[in-house]
Amino acid sequence: MAGQPSQPARIVVADDHPLFRSALRTLLEGSEGVEVIAEATDGKESLELSRRLEPDLVLMDVIMPKMDGVAATRAIKSELPRTIVLVMTASEDSEHLLRALRAGAGGYVLKSADPEEITEAVHKVLEGEFSLDQEVATRLLLRLSQEKDERQEERANPAPEALSAQGRRMPPAAAEDPDSGKVSPREAEILRLVANGRTNEQIARELLLSTSTVKNHVGRILSKLGASDRTQAVIMAIEMDLISISH
């Protein structure tokens, strides 16, 4: 019906500490446009609740019993690609964060963050924005790019045991579709700006486009790459060598 307000975003909070979980519920229920529909005490329960309730977002602690947050994130995104996972961490540990992003997390927020920063991170990922501290994001994406370069170097110069008995290099495991993930120069430019933490509005101003045009470009990028959100699109673009990240 015209004029009818949109439904609030449905959120599952997953954390094994009851007091922190309760504080998150109270915080989010005081924020406009969101609704906490369930709480999970471990990663396994967060997966079970997500299967049953299909929430819009899971606010996921990284370190939990039974199934850690990274494994739970991977399982949820595999079964419910439209469900956003925003991970919570006690520290900016690069290893945990990179594992979480590779598992499909749409962003992260520190557990020590101010209440306003937590609610802002939730709303950002719900709106399709990049919810990563820019300095940390750059560090993580640089590491991802470096790991990709190292893998390419290893393939170009394999160890002797990687060579076949005939002294020839082993063929790659699988041939990639040359058109897979192909993006236009404009889309690649937008991807680079997304990787640098720009919002749609900032990209529109920088490229002299309308915000709706940028949103359409981002939508096409996600479709071409088969990515569920901007974060995953950037990770895939780096892995596929569609964009490069430098200091």
- pLDDT, residue 85, reads 95
Please check whether residue 197 is in contact with residue 187, taking contact to mean a CB–CB distance below 8 angstroms.
no
- pLDDT, residue 42, reads 96
- pLDDT, residue 181, reads 57
Mean pLDDT of 34-57: 97
More confident residue, 61 or 156: 61
**Mean pLDDT (the chain, rounded):** 81
Mean pLDDT of 27-31: 92
* Domain positions in the chain: 9-126, 134-157+180-239
Q: Would you say residue 103 has pLDDT above 80? A: yes
More confident residue, 145 or 114: 114
Alpha-helical (H) ranges within 1-60 are 18-29, 43-53
Q: Name the least confident of 77-91, 97-111, 120-134.
A: 120-134
Under the banding of pLDDT at 50, 70 and 90, the label for residue 152 is low
Task: Give the pLDDT confidence of 195-218 residue by residue, as tens digits.
Answer: 877 888 889 999 999 999 999 999
Q: Would you say residue 156 has pLDDT above 50? A: yes
State the pairing for strand pair 57-61/107-110.
unpaired
More confident residue, 186 or 144: 186
Give the global pTM: 0.72
* Sheet arrangement for strand 57-61: 34-40, 9-14, 57-61, 84-89, 107-110
Distance CA 96, CA 109 (A): 12
- pLDDT, residue 213, reads 93
More confident residue, 111 or 143: 111
CATH topology of domain 134-157+180-239: Rossmann fold (3.40.50)
Distance CA 221, CA 149 (A): 23
CATH class of segment(s) 9-126: alpha beta
